[in-house]
Structure 1
């Protein structure tokens, strides 16, 4: 059974069909319909049902349900992606059925005018008269950060917004591996746990880990990479994170695995690590939080923490090449955030998150003194990973809502489904970059390295 078929069979419980609400007049229904047709067109790819039961579009298994005219109210004040995303998070807009099919509406939004025309003025006036001329307050799940961008205090707040949600909630989505990054899939049928184990092993093989070596894992999450490396390659690991919840859960999992003598977890910024050198450094899913203006500091810090001949594996989401140069790194402009059109991700998911083009990251890696040896794009693998996470969330919807609330569960459903489509369509990429700190010109790399191996996972006794 394919993932998409499984998704259709494991949707959140369907809500009742909308019924007329005496709070809102028939004129408001007509006005909302007129404005929807302006925003989305008269032939949307999925059926759109209004709160009174009226509908537009084809009769499709998936329906977008406008539960309240506040959905259009939000869209008017923030046309495009953000307005409709706020409506979805607030529950004014809902999806019954396959959220991937519903997200086809994004293409219609980008192809149509985002602002009402003069012909829709009566509908606009009706909506503003009944709902108010002031913009609705954003849902409380929207991030509100303060202070200098990418200062240590603000970075900690940004990380807390996303990661200090609920370890139990993440366990529902991620499964027993508790790995919140792209898996490596032998095939779509591999399964999420196998894909994450394969990713950990691929990182270890690229780093060439040997028993007794010191491994630094920057942005260690819940400790999964270090547990794998210590258990199967016999390393001594240090993991750093600035998420309080992650650090606590990582320590618990490491103790449960019997690896407390081999792994240390620190609540620490990557700029504060005092005790290099390390034999190898892994950074998996962390560079997206660094910020373009801080990339030189990031790579210089990791270079200084690595012994000569040591290896760095940097695994991070990236943006495709930008022919227009709008997002090319320009030091005099300061930090450049997620590309335009990703307001939802910036405000609800990864505040202050910044994606970097792989050429930029390669250049800055080498500018710090590293020699880049291997680059691999895994974007199709992230599409499969995200679809598996969406399926897990939908299968456990009621539990997820009980743990983090309906609004935050909606954020995760929307962001993960939209991100899966973005990776599948090539609008977003993810790269693993292997770099070496040269030792008097020696890289320590084999002439033709082979990172994939059909052999069983090694098991090494930890030392110390």
Structure 2
């Protein structure tokens, strides 16, 4: 009988309609494919059953999270080799070829159904999409997985958004540079009130209170984040100047604020709710106040109605998360009444940040698996590596949008050279 890896390699090429650019090793220790390429390791027939029962990305994701699929060699190289041709529109086999590949896969997989999905997968979604209750569950799925795990991945800065790099900076220095850039764009002054929407582990609020003398309110839906942030604030002796709340942005009662930062939060809002989000933060700002909206963006689709969320990310990483083109975000902010005054794309910076996070995870992967679960550690490794490549290849971007609730006088309060905050 033909070795399993040879059969798998042939049917993968038939199904994809392109030469398979990686090597395969199967459960019977057979190998096939380019000798110097990264190797896809298929550890068990169960992986094939998952793919048969849920063809496409989700079946592959389940096998990866369960440890039934793995990559030996350079993970970035493997993902780049696989994603590049498919992204560029190659790999469109005839229907007959796909059916033949499916029959061959069934013969290899055996007749048994797959086991249940890995426990790290989101299940039993109830309630309206982007309702307060469902959003809280989605945030908990992503962030309430253990602060020790995030400490290993993110490092001492505990900032889970794109850093701001320059030559020779460490990850912690680049994250501090990003936080300080946000504070300078907001033109923070002693005594002002800052609202940090989606405050994470409190790093921005701490920096703004300590370095700029503001009074900060941070809101998050993650109980673990809030507990961690409050502990840091107490240790810094800043409990009289920083208030961390477990609160939805739609329920903040005590505006207006002089400045609002929304860093990596708006991706959770959802396209159907974005006008509400923009109107809410506008209403929370005093006239003349500034908003800094830091948000990942996707490329526009030819037909926006055809856009579909990434199955792997939706099931394992950011449930109900949605990316929008930056132009749509600007439009919604302007419709709410904001005057958009500056937009800075820092796409390459996020690729560099993600590669550092992956390196932190891989530096002691067994520990990361113990601090969360082996499946979750595998989720984060794949998600962050694939995301780094997406930023590098301009498939997604990240932008800082500075917007103002311009008063009736029309006086914005910005310097004539708007990038003076960079000096």
**TM-score interval for Structure 1 and Structure 2 normalised by the shorter chain:** over 0.9
2:104 corresponds, among 100, 113, 123, to 123
Q: Does 1:366 align with 2:331?
A: no
1:179 corresponds, among 125, 134, 159, to 159
Could you say which residue in structure 2 is the equivalent of 1:90? Answer: 66
Unaligned runs of 5+ in 1: 1-24, 328-338, 455-464
Q: What whole-Å deviation, never above 9, does each CA across 1:276-308 have from its counterpart, x for those lacking one?
A: 111000000000000111111111111111111
Could you say which residue in structure 2 is the equivalent of 1:335? Answer: none
Q: What TM-score, normalized to structure 1?
A: 0.85
Mean alpha-carbon deviation: is it higher for 33-42 or for 286-295? 33-42
Give the root-mean-square deviation of aligned CA atoms: 2.1
Question: 1:257 deviation in Å?
Answer: 1.7
Name the count of aligned residue pairs: 416
Q: What whole-Å deviation, never above 9, does each CA across 1:47-104 have from its counterpart, x for those lacking one?
A: 2211222112222363221111222222223333222222111111011222101112
Q: In 1, distance between residues paired with 2:36 and 2:420?
A: 46
1:53 corresponds, among 22, 29, 36, to 29
Could you say which residue in structure 1 is the equivalent of 2:144? Answer: 164
Could you say which residue in structure 2 is the equivalent of 1:418? Answer: 386
CA 1:153–1:325 in 2, change beyond 3 Å: closer, same or farther? closer
Q: In 2, distance between residues paired with 1:386 and 1:324?
A: 30
1:107 corresponds, among 84, 88, 93, to 84
Q: In 2, distance between residues paired with 1:371 and 1:37?
A: 52
Judge conservation of contact 2:3–2:28 (CA < 8 Å) in 1. Answer: no
1:303 corresponds, among 275, 282, 293, to 282
CA 1:71–1:191 in 2, change beyond 3 Å: closer, same or farther? same
Judge conservation of contact 2:38–2:74 (CA < 8 Å) in 1. Answer: yes
CA 1:120–1:321 in 2, change beyond 3 Å: closer, same or farther? closer
SS at match of 1:445: coil
SS at match of 1:143: coil
Q: What TM-score, normalized to structure 2?
A: 0.93
Unaligned runs of 5+ in 2: none
Question: 1:34 deviation in Å?
Answer: 4.3
1:7-18 aligned within 5 A = none
1:143-292 aligned within 5 A = 143-144=122-123, 145-187=125-167, 189-292=168-271
Could you say which residue in structure 2 is the equivalent of 1:431? Answer: 399
Question: 1:261 deviation in Å?
Answer: 1.4
Q: Does 1:445 align with 2:418?
A: no
Judge conservation of contact 1:206–1:451 (CA < 8 Å) in 2. Answer: no
Question: 1:28 deviation in Å?
Answer: 6.1
Q: Does 1:399 align with 2:367?
A: yes
SS at match of 2:50: helix
1:23-34 aligned within 5 A = 32-34=8-10
Q: In 1, distance between residues paired with 2:30 and 2:398?
A: 42
Question: 1:267 deviation in Å?
Answer: 0.5
Q: Does 1:314 align with 2:293?
A: yes
Judge conservation of contact 1:73–1:127 (CA < 8 Å) in 2. Answer: no
Q: Does 1:80 align with 2:56?
A: yes
Judge conservation of contact 1:87–1:93 (CA < 8 Å) in 2. Answer: yes
CA 1:124–1:49 in 2, change beyond 3 Å: closer, same or farther? closer
Question: 1:224 deviation in Å?
Answer: 0.3
Q: In 2, distance between residues paired with 1:150 and 1:300?
A: 16
Could you say which residue in structure 2 is the equivalent of 1:69? Answer: 45
Q: In 2, distance between residues paired with 1:218 and 1:87?
A: 36
Judge conservation of contact 1:70–1:131 (CA < 8 Å) in 2. Answer: no
